[in-house]
Each structure stands twice: as C-alpha cells, then as structure tokens.
Copies of this chain bind each other. A is one copy, B any other.
Amino acid sequence: MEELKFVEQMKLRSRMTVSQLVEQMNATGVLGAGKIGEAAELVSEMFIDPDYTVFLTLAGPIVPAGFRRIIGDLIENECVNVLVSTGANMVHDMVEGLGYRHMVGTFAAQDRRLKREKIGRIGDIYIEQEAFQGLEKWLFKTVEAIPEEKRRRISAAELLKDIGKRIEDKESIQAIASRKNVPIICPAFVDSIAGFQLWTFGQDKTLRIDPLQDVNVLMDKVYEAKKVGIIMLGGGVPKHFALFANTFREGVDAAVQITMDRPEPGGLSGASLEEAISWGKVKPKGRAVTVICDVTIAFPLIVAVALEKLSKK
C-alpha cells in the first residue's frame, strides 16, 4: 500500500475565517469535508490560472435561492468565462431585474391555497405569478426592439445577450454577462416560462431560435480554450451539454460537480465524473471532484475560499 495521509482531527475556533475552516476540512481529507477541501483547491486553481477557460453550469433554483450576486460577481471578476444554464435561472434573473422578489416559504405549504393566492412554489421559495406577467410584458417589448432581421435566426445565447443589454439592474447576471462578453448558453431555453412566452410572441411576430447556433457559440469557447475547468451546480441539460461539447477537445482538465443526485439510477445528473472519463468528457489525467451536498451549502464555502486565494495571488 502506498503511503497514506493521516486524517487530521479538526479544531474549531471562534472567529475563524471560511478559509481556515475549509483548511481544517481539507486536513481531514475524508467524506464530505474532504471533498469540500479538494473542490475549494481545484476551483481556486481554475480562478487563478489564466490558462483556464471556466465553464459554470447552473441547474436547480440557483437564482431564486440567493446566488444571483455570487454568479454575477464571478462573471464580473472574470472567474467564469462561459455560463451554461437552465432557462429558468435566466427567467428568475430577469424577474429580479424587474424588481420582483423571491420569498421565504416552506416545504410544508398548502399548495391549493398558494394557487389561489397566485404564488408559485419552488421547494421553500415562493414567487408571485404577477412577476411572470410583468416579465411577459417587458420581454415582448425587449425582444421586439431587436431588429427583425436578427430575429429571423438567432441563437438563445445571442438573444440572451441582447436581452442582457436591456436589463437596467446592475446586479443582473445577464446584464453583467452581456457587458463582459460572457456567453450564456441555454440549450433548452424553450423549456422555461420565457420560452413559452416567446412562443406566444412568435405567433404573430418574427422569432426563430436556432439551437444549433448555440452549439457554435459553445464550441468556439471549447476550441479557443488552453485548459478547460468546469464547475457544475446540479446536473441536467447544462451539465451534459457543457461536458459533451468538451469531448471535441479530449475532455476538460478540471471538473467540480456539486449534486445531491445518486449515481445508481443511471441518470446523467447523478453520474460520477469517473464515468465522464469513459466518454472523453473529462481527460484521463484530468482532476475531478464530486461533492455530494446541497449546492446552497457547498458552493458558497468553496467560492469564499477561492476568492481569498485569488486576492492573495
């Protein structure tokens, strides 16, 4: 047996910084704490090494759960170079940009009553349906302002970029991404409230979204990267789309995924990153860490450490 590290017993103190805590976790090296430590190191490296093109994928209620500024700041600080997201997260970014707010509810909700009160529930997060009516009005006006010629064939990425330019809220992910020229790839944008609204729009206005164009946008980033680092919050289409695109360059160099899904049922969302090696999504010598944890707990821990390391580089 090769030389093994000892598990160091943690020591907690009042007033410790997140970095100090995660260092302690890293020193144990095992179970969830060990994974947090490892992931924090790998994400730090992705943020610090300028050779990395960093893909961040979003699935689950990332924006509704309070991560909007975290994502926005990561783009602003050029830590993240490509965003691959569910449509829903962009919908909720727009909705917050229009001044609507998510609310703290409960999992043990009376959903029939919520329906009567026109509140939609996402886990223990509530949002008024009014927000989506406001969104529709704004979205129609905003999309109509895009030249018709362009609307004849547009990728979701291009559409989101144009939308981002028109969001006034400085904290909007889309606004920041537009300004920083970071593409937002939504391969299934049609599967979102905005997607259905644009379908209505398209009944009597010109709009043809061409998802094959989104592949172009994504592949440009894949091909131009020296190294690719990928951070996956949840699974779904964003995880698959971003990983599969990287098979065209023999896989990503570094990968961190945070998920609560299990591998045993065989779905991609819970699939291990070892499995990804067989497909050429992760390089055989790539580094990969899977953190089995609620994203809202693990990701802030990891990012806080990476920001500290970045500030000291």
Contact = CB atoms under 8 A, between A and B. Distances in A.
Interface of A: 1, 4-19, 21, 24-25, 27-34, 36, 59-61, 64-70, 73, 88, 96, 101-105, 107-109, 111-115, 117, 119-126, 153, 171, 187-191, 193, 195-196, 198-199, 202, 207-212, 214-216, 219, 234, 236-237, 240-241, 244-245, 260-271, 274-280, 284, 292-298, 300-301, 303-304, 307-308, 310-311
Number of identical monomers bound together in the oligomeric complex: 4
B121 A70 contact: no
Contacts of A114: 277-278
A28 B122 CA distance: 14
Given A25-B300, A292-B294, A294-B293, A188 B4 contact: no
A191 B284 CA distance: 23
Given A115-B284, A188-B237, A262-B262, A25 B304 contact: no
A96 to B, nearest CB: 8
Contacts of A296: 25, 28, 30-34, 265-266
Contact of A111 (B31, B36, B274, B295): B274
Those 3 A-B pairs whose CB atoms lie nearest each other, nearest first = A32-B294, A28-B66, A123-B266
Contacts of A271: 122-123
Contacts of A215: 190, 195-196, 199
Contacts of A25: 296-297, 300
Contacts of A196: 215, 244-245
B209 A211 contact: yes
A66 B7 CA distance: 6
Given A16-B17, A278-B114, A66 B266 contact: no
B210 A208 contact: yes
A257 to B, nearest CB: 13
A81 B6 CA distance: 30
